[in-house]
Structure 1
Amino acid sequence: MRLADFIRTNIEPILENWEEFAKTILHASHMNKTSLRDHARDMLLVIADDLDSQQSESEQAAKSKGCGPEDGGESWAEVHGGDRHTSGFSVMETVSEFRALRASVVSLWSKTYPTVTGQQLEDLTRFNEAIDQAVAESLEHYATVKEMETRLFGAILVASPDPIYVLDLKGRFIYANKATADLFALEREAIIGKSNSDLGFPFASDFRRNLEKVFAERSTYRGKFVHTFASGQGERFEYLLAPVLDEHKKMEATVCIFRDITEQALAEEKIWHSAHHDPLTGLPNRRLFLDRLEQEVKHAKRSSLPLALLFLDLDGFKDVNDSLGHEAGDRVLCDVAERLTDCVREEDTVARLGGDEFTVILTAARHRKDTEHVAQTIIDALERPFQTTKQSVHISASIGISFYPQDAPSPVDLLQAADHAMYKAKESGTNRMCFYDTLEGSGPAHSIDILRE
């Protein structure tokens, strides 16, 4: 039997034998039977037809060198090479498939015909030449696709407005695109071979620790840093570190992509500030105050340190608004905010709940007399005249004071206790402070038991 007929007759066992080998290739291990065989059947049938055709001496010489006739279209070998590149196959994996196809045919042929006749030997020679030609066509197309992909990838890197670079396993630059060089205000030659630490970037140590996480976990990492480069670009940046793995899942390098998020970050901060601060005084509003009070209560519970809450209401402020107008009232509220802030420490919180109501959170209030001193300082500060555009005015403050954990177990109860104490102070006159105390064994904090002036 001629080899061409043998191939056509035994094409299924040939492919089954070849398929067993193909499954051992890394990038083929996840493929199904259809994807694995894709063009192999067609290539074998084309080779069988070629074996049946007559060849001139020049065609035989060309075939012996791996060169076949040009027919103007893509051969199945070329299509196979392009598809294998798209599937992530390496050059060696692609060549291995052709070698396995050759071995499968020759092995079955040799078992069937242990003794080879002259014609069969010629068929075998031509078959090997056809396989060599298929390898050459496949690799040529593979290389063409690879070169185009490289050019496209290079064009993307050059055109990208985001800095993109590659670091070796020691954290040194082995590639940097134009955007990276522009950001660093350095020539690419001055970047290659250096690390972030070598370039004097203050974020280098944190960056290196995150890079080591990528090495250890073989996974991507997203981070942020604040820095203005020599180019004057940016202030806030986010970055992505992505591992480059070889076919054995071993680290080869790390790709890093920077993105300038300064404008976005500042816009988000502005939105957050507007949502959490009083637009008139700039103090924390009720929303932020309640959040901070909750956090401070948790901290006080962990540290076993008491917490004091002052609730203030301005006496005589309504008269200022009614007689001098809201513009004068707003001016007084802003001055009140400044004076309150000057009366407390930086770690304390002054907030405006709305209208003429203010609160003060005093952290680590170990001694009652210290809290009383702060409250008296506030009263004295607000007793001084306030200057408006029309005239100076006088107001005062009524202050209610509650303590955590003595007076209330939760932020809401603590605020309610201070509020009750403030109303008691207001009933007693102006420029007064009152402490809220619960009797031992009494009910909820909202029931007033004792108020001390």
Structure 2
Amino acid sequence: MKAKEMQTHMRLADFIRAEIEPILQDWEEFALTILPARDMGKTGLRDHAKGMLLEIADDLDSHQSASEQDAKSKGREPKAEGESSAEVHGGDRQSSGFSVIDTVSEFRALRASVVSHWTKAYPTITGQQVEDLTRFHEAIDQAVAESLEQYATVKETETRLFGAVLLASPDPIFVLDLEGSFVYANKATTDLFAMEIQAIVGKSTLDLGFSFASDLQRALGKVIAEASTQRGKFVHTFASGRGERFEYLLAPVLDEHQKPEAVACIFRDITEQALAEEKIWHNAHHDQLTGLPNRRLFLDRLEQAIKHAKRSKTPLSVLFMDLDGFKGVNDTLGHEAGDRLLSDVAKRLTGCVREGDTVARLGGDEFTVILADAKERHDVALVAQHIIDALTLPFQFAHQPVQISVSIGISRYPYDASSPVALLEAADQAMYKAKKSDSNRVYFCEAIDQEGRDSD
């Protein structure tokens, strides 16, 4: 259609319907400059704008009284039944992460696109066209009002729901500023800290004297520097007495430029879970009767001890012990007495060595000891004799003294073997030599080698 014919016959409502595609193309170019809009498809961007333009075109075709015109010019037009495209737009934009400024700027761009195309087609407008343009501006203002009202309604609803979730959450949730000071804390946090919210906000975990504060501050620095999530665990007893083991999650709160502006944190009490896991691990690595390390943990510790001895170029010794007379106690006094005897033996053995040494029960009446940093053979022999003396003292059962003895075999690293299993086997062989010789005897593995050479 020629421009002259358009000037004569086309009103703004019809123009919007006829030119809606180029109008939307210009508007879309602007919309894609808004950060949250970049992740939206064309449909998500255009549907509201197209609906609003068509509703405005219908409005321009409708009769409008002076009072209605005045109300619309102030954004106070009576609300129609059902949601308008502008209201849908406002709610959607809030949910999509648009700011109020972003949302309003879309309307400005929509207004600018329509006016630009209209004035290019009609450089000079008069009469009805002037009235149409005035009513168009009023309709845009009304759409802005409807959109922002819905934006605010959704925002308030979201805030209330979020607040309810935070309030109901059993997990402490709080927000820290970039310096590590509290700016928000939910009820679970104040309950855990046993502090009023006024005493928390504005303070840091360092200010509050928490033992984990330094670790949390380091994690906070990583969150801010890398804009990434950080996880960790800590052990702390709060004034409330609730929990002891905790894990935490720190997550950045990003601004419109994707830069951290705050850090959200969640604590989770994992005390029961941690204690249960520790119990499972303890049961898998310790003798249930005596509480001493079992064979599995003994070999693991022996491996670590060998590595240390190799690095420090110091010897270590393994003592393998078998109780003499234990079977008689079991047969005459019963298994309950036998179990008690084994527990008492474990206590005496532990008292014979240093805290850094390992005493283990391999099963039955067999016990082992790892002696670290015993540099001289004579020192090892003294510890073995101390054990013999301790175990030959009577054990008291229901006013009845019970006496046993012990045979001890000893292997030394690196002289007799260099692996955990080989050292244990060497000490076991030496123990059998000691048992065959006489009770309360100590036998070194090197003596077996000497016997072998003497018999050649």
What is the count of residue pairs matched by the alignment?
443
Question: Which residue of 2 is the match for residue 307 of structure 1?
Answer: 316
1:238 aligns with 2:247: yes
Whole-angstrom distance in 2 between the partners of 1:131 and 1:415? 88
The alignment's TM-score, normalised by the length of structure 2, stands at 0.91
Question: Which residue of 2 is the match for residue 407 of structure 1?
Answer: 416
Quick one: which of 184, 202, 219 aligns to 1:210? 219
Whole-angstrom distance in 2 between the partners of 1:38 and 1:421? 88
TM-fit CA distance, 1:390:
6.0
1:162-198 CA distance string (max 9 Å, x none): 2222222222222222222222222222222222222
Whole-angstrom distance in 2 between the partners of 1:9 and 1:167? 53
Quick one: which of 191, 199, 219 aligns to 1:190? 199
Call closer, same or farther: CA 1:141–1:388 in 2, change over 3 Å: same
Quick one: which of 19, 38, 61 aligns to 2:28? 19
Question: Which residue of 2 is the match for residue 443 of structure 1?
Answer: none
Question: Which residue of 2 is the match for residue 56 of structure 1?
Answer: 65
Call closer, same or farther: CA 1:273–1:451 in 2, change over 3 Å: farther
Call closer, same or farther: CA 1:451–1:335 in 2, change over 3 Å: farther
Quick one: which of 143, 146, 158 aligns to 1:149? 158
TM-fit CA distance, 1:147:
0.6
Question: Which residue of 1 is the match for residue 186 of structure 2?
Answer: 177
1:103 aligns with 2:116: no
Counterpart secondary structure, 2:289? coil
- The 5 A counterparts of 1:70-149 are 70-149=79-158
TM-fit CA distance, 1:85:
1.1
Structure 1 alignment gaps of length 5 or more: 439-447
Quick one: which of 186, 190, 200 aligns to 2:209? 200
Letter in 2 for 1:368: R
Quick one: which of 255, 263, 276 aligns to 1:254? 263
Whole-angstrom distance in 1 between the partners of 2:316 and 2:437? 25
TM-fit CA distance, 1:451:
6.2
TM-fit CA distance, 1:112:
2.5
Whole-angstrom distance in 2 between the partners of 1:437 and 1:121? 114
Whole-angstrom distance in 1 between the partners of 2:245 and 2:31? 49
Quick one: which of 271, 274, 293 aligns to 1:265? 274
Residue 436 of structure 1 contacts residue 451 of structure 1 at CA under 8 Å; is this kept in 2?
A: no
Whole-angstrom distance in 2 between the partners of 1:82 and 1:437? 86
Counterpart secondary structure, 1:431? coil
Letter in 2 for 1:254: V
Counterpart secondary structure, 2:82? coil
Quick one: which of 344, 347, 359 aligns to 1:338? 347
Quick one: which of 339, 345, 348 aligns to 2:357? 348
Question: Which residue of 2 is the match for residue 442 of structure 1?
Answer: none
Question: Which residue of 1 is the match for residue 329 of structure 2?
Answer: 320
Call closer, same or farther: CA 1:450–1:248 in 2, change over 3 Å: farther
Counterpart secondary structure, 1:29? helix
1:337-377 CA distance string (max 9 Å, x none): 01110111111110111101111111223222222221221
Whole-angstrom distance in 2 between the partners of 1:111 and 1:300? 90
Deviates more, 1:14-23 or 1:344-353: 14-23
Question: Which residue of 2 is the match for residue 445 of structure 1?
Answer: none
Counterpart secondary structure, 2:424? helix
Deviates more, 1:340-349 or 1:207-216: 207-216
1:282-332 CA distance string (max 9 Å, x none): 111122222222222233333333222111111221122112211121121
1:428 aligns with 2:437: yes
Letter in 1 for 2:252: P
Whole-angstrom distance in 2 between the partners of 1:115 and 1:290? 96
Counterpart secondary structure, 2:175? strand
Letter in 1 for 2:358: T
Q: Say which structure is richer in helix.
A: 2
Quick one: which of 385, 401, 411 aligns to 1:392? 401
1:389-423 CA distance string (max 9 Å, x none): 36222222222222233322322222222222222
Residue 225 of structure 1 contacts residue 236 of structure 1 at CA under 8 Å; is this kept in 2?
A: yes
TM-fit CA distance, 1:237:
2.4
Whole-angstrom distance in 2 between the partners of 1:83 and 1:27? 12
Question: Which residue of 2 is the match for residue 444 of structure 1?
Answer: none
Question: Which residue of 1 is the match for residue 5 of structure 2?
Answer: none
Whole-angstrom distance in 2 between the partners of 1:7 and 1:302? 85
Residue 424 of structure 1 contacts residue 451 of structure 1 at CA under 8 Å; is this kept in 2?
A: no
Structure 2 alignment gaps of length 5 or more: 1-9
- The 5 A counterparts of 1:354-369 are 354-369=363-378
Whole-angstrom distance in 2 between the partners of 1:111 and 1:220? 52
The alignment's TM-score, normalised by the length of structure 1, stands at 0.92
Whole-angstrom distance in 2 between the partners of 1:5 and 1:437? 109
Call closer, same or farther: CA 1:32–1:373 in 2, change over 3 Å: same
Residue 324 of structure 1 contacts residue 390 of structure 1 at CA under 8 Å; is this kept in 2?
A: no
TM-fit CA distance, 1:450:
4.1
Counterpart secondary structure, 1:398? strand
